[in-house]
Amino acid sequence: MSSNAPKTAPFSLHTPNLAKPTSKSLKDERSGYPSPRTSGKPVGGSSGLASGAVPRIAGPPSPRMKKGKAAQYDRFIPNRSDKELASSQFNIARADSEQPLDGATIAYHEEVARACGVSINKRILSFKEEAPTSDRDDLRQVYSRPVLKPSASTAAKRRILNTPERVLDAPGLVDDYYLNLLDWSLGNMLAIGLDQNVYLWNASSGDVNSLCQLEGDSYISSVKWTTDGAYLAIGTSDGDVQIWDAESQRRIRTMAGHQARVGVMSWEQHMLSSGCRDGSIWNHDVRVADHKTAELVAHSGEVCGLTWRSDGGLLASGGNDNLVNIWDARSVVPKFTKTQHTAAVKALAWSPWQLNLLASGGGSTDRHVHFWNTTTTARLDSIDTGSQVTSIQWSSEYRELVTSHGFPHNHLALWSYPSLAKIVDIPAHDTRVLHTAISPDGQTVATAASDE
């Protein structure tokens, strides 16, 4: 080996390019001894390596190394406790620094550490215990909780009465499946049409007042409260629609125009929709003199079911032609029509906790309740109730609905949704249950039948 061989840069941790060891010399490199085929002595002094010589990578200090020689490491292999990580990182940074601390600085650091009562290799600030938790609820958990209570777990805990809490006489109630003569207001006033009269029962005080009485041969064919419970719309057999102020018990206006009786109505803010026996549906703007704003014609039989969705986007109608029509508020043409029912569709109800969920119930030859997704127009599920379906009421607190029935059982049925398992049957009247209304708190259902 010539002494004139080119010199290489001194080997250290800062040298970017190292000679790649051959596979035959790996065993000798790992053991820390020079390969027998190469010389372990550097050529050209202690600051260089001979050309072609394999550099020896320093590992942990060998027992043969002199005690005074400083150990160097080619990599960081953590083998310390979690509390020593900070001091380990500090030591690595200090070891890699090109300008090591002088003796005066190290002495100063040691003096400050002694004055503070801490070790120079320990963190000054460290939590001994976990940080205290807040007593306030996590908003992410609060708003992700289900609003409605599942009926399966609560049905066993709550008491469902199978006998009426109170019975009121209703003489003169017209026994007609296609009329809608009962409604409960937000102000806890129950309105009922009895022949030519409309009576108001205050559910809070128990007082009963007569609101109006028709003249001649006319009779009350439908009643419907506004959303706030301030005004009551009354449909008559002559085709008129009257608006009454409940507090002053004064008639505000009469809107004429229908050619037959008005059997069903539904409010959407200042807009009142009325369904007629001739199959037409009128939209009335009660704020203006020329009240008729639209006429919806798609039923060939009497319109006996009519209800606006809570957001006012869609109107559902059912008729004696066995059809269910869904109307967009901006159009006079049905958005889609459902023909699965085989009898008149009077029972219609929108879910209060799922906007696009509509339930519809058929008459005595159908006896089914169908559930519709009004976004996709798909039928989600069906129930064969075994009886004529006269009305449907959704619960606002539980995922449940109650259906009222006519022939042959004349009862109420409580169902869980979406399992559609029957929770309980409630005997109601001796004759078919014609009308139902739910209280403002959603806890009580009023029923009406011609058995008085």
Nearest to 405 by CA among 432, 424, 368, 431: 432
Q: Which two tokens stand for residue 216?
A: 């001649």
- Spatial separation of the C-alpha atoms in residues 64 and 83, rounded to whole Å: 33
Q: What is the CA radius of gyration of the chain?
A: 43
pLDDT at 191: 97
| Cβ neighbours, 10 Å, residue 1 | 11
Q: Which two tokens stand for residue 34?
A: 């020079």
Nearest to 203 by CA among 231, 248, 163, 168: 168
Provide long-range contacts, Cβ within 8 A and 24+ apart, for 442-447.
Answer: 442/395, 442/396, 442/397, 443/397, 444/165, 444/203, 445/393, 445/402, 445/412, 446/182, 446/184, 446/190, 447/404, 447/412
- Spatial separation of the C-alpha atoms in residues 245 and 226, rounded to whole Å: 10
pLDDT at 96: 56
pLDDT at 60: 52
pLDDT at 399: 94
pTM of the model: 0.67
Nearest to 433 by CA among 382, 384, 392: 392
pLDDT at 161: 83
C-alpha distances in angstroms, 270 versus 55, 219, 228, 293? 92, 25, 11, 12
- Spatial separation of the C-alpha atoms in residues 337 and 125, rounded to whole Å: 72
pLDDT at 50: 43
Q: What does pLDDT average to in each consecutive run of 10 residues of the chain (452 residues)? A: 45 42 45 45 43 47 49 55 60 60 81 79 62 55 51 60 88 94 96 96 94 94 96 97 95 95 96 97 96 96 97 97 96 96 98 96 96 96 96 94 93 95 92 95 93 73
Reduce the secondary structure of 338-383 to three states and give it as a string. Answer: ECCCCCCEEEEEECCCCCCEEEEEECCCCCEEEEEECCCCEEEEEE
pLDDT at 108: 85
| Residue the block writes with tokens 């009325």 | 274
